[in-house]
């Protein structure tokens, strides 16, 4: 009942209730005993008494309740935002408003603490993962170079082989750093998307051409799931989507079965177009699916490293798709293959 009253209103309400009680008692006394008391001076006395009582209650609440509440509320408000120009707890602010603000502050603080704990754990894991990923190519690079420096450079049976392997590990280090830089740019908002209309079929065929040699080496067929005779126009950053397709198709070639097939299909979802990249490869266990887009997450660490890559490809794919305000998903059956699907806005 009194939730939305300011301090002044609350003081007035208490005074009014006291006046009603006094008048009720007086009325009862007056009618029972048929008193001959002059009502006018009595009522005037009650009015004066109520005015005095009002100011007394107001001062009491101001001194012992409101001022202490103001300090607490000011601390809470300042902790929520230092840039706000909102006046702190003016008389027009009700007790209910203060209560709501305090509850909201407590809820936000709890969420902030949980978020900070999650970020701290994530940072700890991220630093560990980066160190682990960098350590392998660095150790390999050191091993090959020191062997060459110790005289292997003059051994024609190993010198070129070790130089090539050292170069491969140097390239791997470069890929890791470039991928980390790409994720950082996307997350920080530095990377600006150049949204334009383009034919998704034409882009898919270009990406197929880029992977032709790798597909032939793996004996995997690259197939467009529809005839693609007519353009299918979508909106997006064509280079970003090229990178998405590159990463997803590269994965199908790395982990697909020889003599297998990689199929890229499109589906009309009214306002969006769904692009699915499917393979008939080794598949992925269900327990791994929710972590596939995590940085440095590998289903089979030993096999993944033999295949190369930075361990950041799928994470970059997810970031690029979400930068378009679109979604990406994966479904897979162990031993039968996997399907990655993402959406793009129809032009």
Q: What is the pLDDT of residues 264-316, one digit of tens each?
A: 999 999 899 999 999 988 888 888 888 888 877 777 654 444 455 567 888 88
β-strand pairing of 328-333 with 337-346: antiparallel
The mean per-residue pLDDT over the stretch 336-347 comes to 93
Query: What is the overall mean pLDDT for the chain?
Result: 80
pLDDT tens digits for 169-218?
Answer: 898 888 888 878 887 777 777 778 899 999 999 999 999 999 999 999 98
Joined tokens for residue 337: 């293959």
CB 50 within 8 A of CB 18: yes
- CATH for the stretch 126-188: 1.10.287.130
Q: Per-residue pLDDT for 34 more than 80?
A: no
CB-based contact 281:257 (threshold 8 Å): yes
Query: With contact defined as beta carbons under 8 Å apart, do 268 and 232 qualify?
Result: no
The pair of three-digit structure tokens given for residue 252, joined into one six-digit string: 């199908």
Q: Are 331 and 338 in contact (CB under 8 A)?
A: yes
Instruction: Kindly tell me the burial class for residue 340, based on how many C-beta atoms sit within 10 Å of its own C-beta (0-12, 13-18, 19 or more).
Output: buried
pLDDT > 90 fraction of the chain, expressed in percent and rounded: 30
**Per residue in 121-142, pLDDT tens?**
766 766 766 777 788 888 889 9
Instruction: Evaluate if residue 88 carries a pLDDT over 50.
Output: no
pLDDT at 57: 78
The single residue listed with the structure tokens 């020191």 is 146
Question: What pLDDT band is residue 89 in, cutting at 50, 70 and 90?
Answer: very low
Class of domain 195-346: alpha beta
Residue 317: the pLDDT is: 92
Residue 267: its pLDDT value, please?
93
Dihedral through CA 180, CA 182, CA 184, CA 185, nearest 10? 160
Cβ atoms of 221 and 179 closer than 8 Å: no
Res 79: pLDDT: 63
Q: Return the structure tokens found at 61.
A: 């609440």
pLDDT per position as a tens digit, 40-55: 776 777 778 888 888 8
279 pairs with which residues across the strands? 262
DSSP state of 153: G
Name residues whose C-beta falls within 8 Å of residue 12's C-beta, 6 or more positions apart in sequence: 54
Confidence of residue 91 (pLDDT cuts 50, 70, 90): very low
pLDDT band at 96 (very low <50, low <70, confident <90, very high): low
What is the per-residue pLDDT for 2? 52
Among all chains, which residue has been given the structure tokens 């791997």? 172
In this predicted structure, the answer to whether residue 87 has a pLDDT above a threshold of 50 is: no
Look at residue 195 in the predicted model and tell me its pLDDT: 93
Secondary structure, 3-state, 214-261: HHHHHCCEEEECCCCCCCCEEEEEHHHHHHHHHHHHHHHHHHCCCCCE
DSSP string, 42-78: HHHHHHHHHHHHHHHHHHHHIIIIIHHHHHHHHHHHH
What confidence score (pLDDT) does residue 344 get? 96
Q: If we measure between CA atoms, which residue out of 322, 315, 337 comes closest to residue 176?
A: 315
Average pLDDT over residues 88-116: 67
Residue ranges per structural domain of the chain: 7-93, 126-188, 195-346
If you search the block for the tokens 């004996």, which residue do you land on? 219
Q: What's the pLDDT at 198? A: 96
Measure the CA–CA gap between 100 and 94, rounded to whole angstroms: 10
């Amino acid at each position: 009942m009194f939730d939305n009253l300011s301090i002044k209103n609350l003081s007035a309400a208490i005074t009014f209730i006291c006046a009603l009680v006094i008048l009720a008692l007086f009325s009862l006394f007056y009618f029972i005993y048929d008193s001959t008391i002059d009502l006018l001076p009595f009522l005037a006395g009650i009015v004066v008494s109520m005015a005095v009582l009002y100011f007394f209650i107001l001062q009491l609440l101001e001194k012992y309740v409101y001022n202490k509440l103001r300090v607490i509320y000011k601390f809470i408000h300042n902790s929520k935002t230092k840039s706000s120009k909102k006046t702190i707890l003016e008389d027009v602010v009700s007790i209910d408003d203060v209560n709501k603000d305090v509850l909201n502050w407590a809820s936000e603080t709890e969420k902030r603490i949980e978020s900070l704990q999650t970020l701290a754990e994530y940072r700890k894991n991220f630093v560990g993962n980066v160190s682990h990923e960098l350590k392998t190519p660095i150790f390999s690079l050191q091993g090959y170079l020191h062997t060459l420096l110790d005289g292997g450079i003059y051994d024609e049976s190993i010198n070129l082989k070790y130089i090539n392997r050292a170069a491969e590990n140097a390239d791997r280090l470069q890929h890791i750093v470039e991928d980390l830089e790409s994720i950082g740019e996307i997350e920080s908002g530095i990377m600006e998307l150049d949204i334009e209309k383009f034919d998704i079929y034409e882009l898919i065929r270009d990406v197929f051409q880029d992977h032709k040699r790798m597909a032939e080496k793996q004996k995997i067929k690259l197939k467009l799931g529809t005839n693609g005779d007519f353009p299918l126009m979508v909106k997006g950053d064509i280079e970003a989507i090229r990178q998405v397709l590159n990463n997803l198709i590269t994965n199908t070639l790395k982990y697909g079965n020889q003599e297998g097939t990689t199929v890229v299909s499109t589906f009309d979802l009214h306002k969006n177009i769904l692009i699915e990249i499917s393979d008939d490869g080794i598949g992925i266990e269900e327990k791994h699916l929710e972590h596939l887009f995590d940085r440095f997450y590998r289903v089979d660490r030993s096999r993944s490293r033999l295949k190369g890559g930075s361990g950041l490809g799928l994470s970059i794919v997810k970031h690029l798709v979400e930068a378009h305000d679109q979604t990406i998903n994966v479904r897979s059956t162990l031993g039968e293959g996997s399907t990655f699907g993402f959406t793009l806005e129809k032009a």
